[in-house]
Chain A
Amino acid sequence: MPLSLLFASCLLIAALAFLMGRGKAFKSAGGDIRKLHSLPGYYGWNSALMVLLPSMAALVIWLAVQPLVINSSVSQMISTQSVEASSLDLIMSDVRRVAEGLNKAVEAGAMTEAEVSGATAESMNVRERLGAVGVALGSDVSNETLQAAQSYRDLSATSGLLRTIAVLALALGGLVFGVVRTNKDFRARNTVERVILGLLIAAASIAILTTVGIVFSLIFNTVEFFKLYPAADFFFGLTWSPSFGGGSDLGILPLIWATLYISLIALAVSVPVGLFAAIYLSEYAAPLVRSVAKPLLEVLAGIPTIVYGLFALLTVGPLLVDIFGSNGVLHLGWMQGGTAVMTAGLVMGIMLIPFVSSLSDDIINAVPQAMRDGSLGLGATHSETVKQVILPAALPGIVGAILLAASRAIGETMIVVLGAGAAARLSMNPFDAMTTVTAKIVSQLTGDADFASPEALVAFALGMTLFVMTLGLNVIALYIVRKYREQYE
């Protein structure tokens, strides 16, 4: 039974269970709602949940486990010689493809079921036959692959049948259990509420699950990478020159350098502008100015990063070349092309202005009014109050905001992919093109790289480095911000 039909029939049984459960509760109370423990709907929901919970859980587990089991049992059929000749992954994907093709051929009526199960590579040109139904195969099918594909098909069909039986059995079992349990004294509301609470907890745990998923997917592939490439060379190597033919140098230092350099320029732009804007808007500006300027600045935060990337590539880069390039206004010749550390840093700085200003704004507003009044009352001017009272009081929070902005800058991808260049380089000149950790993650993982090569796996090690760096900054920043907030609350 196809998945959608199975799902629909479970829903149907659940609806039936709802009606039966509610009906039975009514009947046991003799139609008098006052004799029921819970509202009638709860009896219905109880029965419906008894149907849905076990059957859906079984379905999900089955869907996750079935491919693993089938894969492992089929891959045992493949001889070690052919595994040595190419890789097990490639052979298995061939097998899956052939199996799918056979399914399609049977569906289209190009082959009969008997033909498929009796086929051998000698008796039939499988590639040609499958090509006729629109499944293109890269090479001729060996006997081994064909047999594996046949058993793959058989196993899938059997397991599909078993799945249907198991899920429907659980659903009907749940129906019977739920309805039999129902009578007027049954505490239906408490049961239903317990189940709902369980679902709420499960939803809250997804956040944890995401983190676990991130950590696992990074760690497994990073370990895999370090098996192929020495960790010391990765962390302390000064050259980055991957080549998919092998023999690449994958030193992270040039990437880290460019990442930090760009982030530094971005902070040099965004922190003064953002901070002064926040001070002005919260301390000086008239309410009207504030109500106009603040949302306008925050528009900058709502603009997607791809827009900033394009702005860097097509507007800011050429503009900087016109000023600092060899034919530029200043005749300096510092800049060769539009993509450079300066381009990316400048645009990233623009992106971070609202981030810094709105965080600092919150923090400055959290400083108690009494401190301002006290300072002004002693005869300090407004700017002296800001510089000598408010900023020192808000300093930890502002440091936290700057750290958060730094973590944003380090993790930013689109601006550096489009604006910073593609060549890794260790240079002091901010007008040189360099490349960052995030840009290289993108370039190593896009395209049809195979996941077994160190050139693709290095992206996971880069991701791990990035994750650790930003997580460290975030944890420190959030700790500082939270600690500071408590101080005045």
Chain B
Amino acid sequence: MTDAILPNVASAPASATKSRSLLEVDSHTRRRNAAETRFRFYGIGAVLIGLFFLVALLWAILSNGLTAFMQTSISIDLHLDKAAIESAEKSVVKTSKYNEMIGAALEEKLTAAHIETGMPVKDLMKILSSGAASTVRAFVLDNPDKYGSTVPFDLLASSRVDGYLKDRVTREALANDKNLDAAHLDIVDAMIKAGVIAKTFNWSFVFGSDASDSRPEQAGIGVSMLGSLYMMLVVLVLSLPIGVAASIYLEEFAPKNRWTDVIEVNIANLAAVPSIVFGILGLAAFIQFAHLPQSAPIVGGLVLTLMTLPTIIISTRAALKAVPPSIRSAALGIGASKMQSVFHHVLPLAMPGILTGTIIGLAQALGETAPLLLIGMVGFIASNYPAGVADGFFSPNSAMPAQIYEWAKRADPAFYERAWGGIIILLVVLMSMNILAILLRRKFERRW
């Protein structure tokens, strides 16, 4: 009987599906495996898309911004005639007399290099930056002992000429341009051959001050870097002690009650409030109500402090939590008070974590722009270095991201190059802060 049934049992499934061997893959399994592979590729695709965006962003920044670090300048030899300088200083528009002197020197230089210009000096001067005369004047006033001698000057070329040397400006684009003609570019070509005009590293972009709308070639980010530095000092001095004190209270002393719950929820929510809202707070509280000066780094620092506090509190609490309870018990066990156990033992052990969190918080604050717009840190041309430390905190200044925004808004495309260049500097600063944080963590991190 059993023999009669067995063949039936064996043959029934065999007829339903062709093979049931584990060694052969059936269509259902194949479908499932295909879905598996597809799913995995979606994942790889997503990671690659993310990385592609990162590369695209970095490429855009570097390809557009690196040129800002080179600047075209024209070397001329200027004879500082004492009589000419004195008459220039007596006239009403002092720079126009200097312009005449520079024009003559430029023409002389071109003749010496055997370059035929065929245009009046006034037109020729368009090759030079309109700030050239004031550069020369500043030098002359600083060096009265050089009167009567011939001094070599490297004067900035105008932004269009600079753009031509950097392939940003083409002859076709100049057709409707009233600042420069194609004829100028022919002269510039000849000047390049003669070595009169050259690109050099642009220190004045890194350390210089911002310039007005018409002189992009002179604009630099130095003053706003200093503004950012002052703001960061305010943020550091206020947010580190306050943040650490708040975290110590919440982590070590706070009883579990409704009040501390409210504070905790509050901090979590504050960390997610849009930064522009902090700008509104700063405008209303510090400028409208407390009458602090507009555009001053102290106000920017205060606003950014309030914005950074939640970040610092969250990371400090994590650092305090990571210190094992046995440390506290040991301190209490040998007779320390609760306060002594925290300040003498827990806090020093948590310090590396706290510092790392603080640096990351500072980096975040340094790149923040939106609140600065509301307290008036744009629309202001940061053209002078502050006179002293107090002045640095209280007199109007710009900040790095605000300066970049300011340049991005201006009409002349030459400022875009500056904006990208500013971003490179900003990112380098941020990167060094983050690397410092990582190094600190590596060096001092303790696994308990």
Hey, which bits of chain A sit against chain B, CB under 8 A? 64, 67, 189, 193, 196-197, 199-208, 210-211, 213-214, 217-218, 220-221, 272-277, 279-281, 283-285, 293, 296-297, 299-300, 302-311, 313-315, 350, 353-354, 357, 381-384, 386-387, 404, 407-408, 410-414, 417-418, 438, 441-442, 445-447, 451, 459-460, 463, 466-467, 470-471, 474-475, 478
Contact = CB atoms under 8 A, between A and B. Distances in A.
B266 A207 contact: yes
Nearest to A451: B288
Nearest to A217: B284
Interface in B29-76: 32-33, 35-36, 38-40, 42-47, 49-51, 53-54, 56-57, 60-61, 64
A460 B280 contact: yes
Contacts of A205: 263
A480 B47 CA distance: 27
Contact of A279 (B38, B43, B54, B269): B43
Given A214-B273, A404-B272, A300 B419 contact: no
B367 A293 contact: no
B57 A311 contact: yes
Given A203-B249, A207-B310, A307-B423, A470 B40 contact: no
A412 B35 CA distance: 37
A409 to B, nearest CB: 10
A286 to B, nearest CB: 12
Nearest to B390: A4
Given A200-B246, A208-B263, A466-B276, A446 B281 contact: no
Nearest to B402: A306
B194 to A, nearest CB: 35
A405 B342 CA distance: 37
Contacts of B229: none
A297 B47 contact: yes
Nearest to A275: B46
Nearest to A477: B272
B430 A277 contact: no
Interface of B: 32-33, 35-36, 38-40, 42-47, 49-51, 53-54, 56-57, 60-61, 64, 241-243, 245-246, 248-250, 253-254, 262-263, 265-270, 272-278, 280-281, 283-285, 288-291, 306, 309-310, 313, 337-339, 363, 366-370, 373-374, 376, 378-379, 401, 404-405, 408, 416, 419-420, 423, 426-427, 430, 434
B277 A214 contact: yes
Contact of B43 (A193, A280, A410): A280
Given A207-B313, A445-B283, A470 B46 contact: no
Contact of A213 (B268, B281, B337, B376): B281
Given A200-B249, A208-B266, A218-B280, A305 B369 contact: yes
Nearest to A445: B374
A42 to B, nearest CB: 10
Contacts of B280: 214, 217-218, 441, 445, 459-460, 463
A471 B367 contact: no
Contact of A383 (B40, B404, B420, B434): B40
Contacts of A408: 272, 274
A306 B398 CA distance: 15
B368 A204 contact: no
A16 B253 CA distance: 31
A442 B374 contact: yes
A438 B370 contact: yes
Nearest 8 pairs of A and B residues by beta carbon:
A411-B274, A280-B43, A304-B367, A217-B284, A276-B46, A203-B245, A383-B39, A200-B249
A277 B285 CA distance: 43
Determine chain A's interface SS by DSSP, over half rule: helix
A284 B40 contact: yes
Q: Is the interface of B mostly helix, strand, loop or mixed?
A: helix
Contacts of A467: 273-274, 277
A103 to B, nearest CB: 16
Given A204-B250, A418-B408, A446-B376, A463 B277 contact: yes
B246 A204 contact: yes
Contacts of A475: 269
Contact of B309 (A206, A313, A386): A206
B251 to A, nearest CB: 10
A211 B51 contact: no
Contacts of B374: 441-442, 445-446
Nearest to B277: A467
B337 A305 contact: no
A67 to B, nearest CB: 7
Given A438-B276, A442-B276, A446-B373, A206 B242 contact: yes
Given A207-B309, A470-B273, A302 B36 contact: no
Contacts of A307: 57, 61, 367, 423, 426-427
B238 to A, nearest CB: 10
A381 B373 CA distance: 53
Given A200-B248, A284-B40, A353-B50, 20 more contacts: A202-B245, A205-B263, A207-B309, A208-B266, A214-B277, A217-B280, A277-B49, A279-B43, A280-B44, A304-B367, A304-B426, A306-B404, A313-B408, A315-B64, A387-B39, A417-B370, A442-B276, A445-B374, A463-B280, A474-B272
Contact of B337 (A67, A189, A201): A189
Contacts of A474: 268-269, 272-273
Nearest to B40: A284
Indicate the member of A193, A276, A308 with the most B CB atoms within 10 Å.
Answer: A276
B271 to A, nearest CB: 9
Contacts of A438: 274, 276, 370
6 contacts: A193-B337, A200-B253, A207-B246, A273-B49, A413-B275, A418-B408
A56 to B, nearest CB: 15
A240 to B, nearest CB: 18
Contacts of B281: 210, 213-214, 217
A314 B64 contact: yes
A306 B273 contact: no
Contacts of B40: 280, 284, 382-383
B43 A470 contact: no
A197 B339 contact: yes
A463 B253 CA distance: 36
Nearest to A4: B390
Given A411-B275, A446-B379, A354 B50 contact: yes
| Residue of B267, B290, B338, B373 contacting most chain A CB atoms (<10 Å) | B373
A288 B434 CA distance: 22
Contact of A204 (B53, B254, B277, B284): B254
Contact of A386 (B39, B57, B338, B423): B39
A205 B338 CA distance: 21
B413 to A, nearest CB: 9
Contact of A309 (B53, B283, B284, B405): B405
Given A413-B274, A414-B370, A446 B45 contact: no
B246 A203 contact: yes
Contacts of A383: 35-36, 38-40
B276 A310 contact: no
A14 B271 CA distance: 37
B50 A300 contact: yes
Contact of A208 (B241, B262, B376): B262
A413 B370 CA distance: 6
Contacts of B53: 300, 350, 353
A474 B50 CA distance: 25
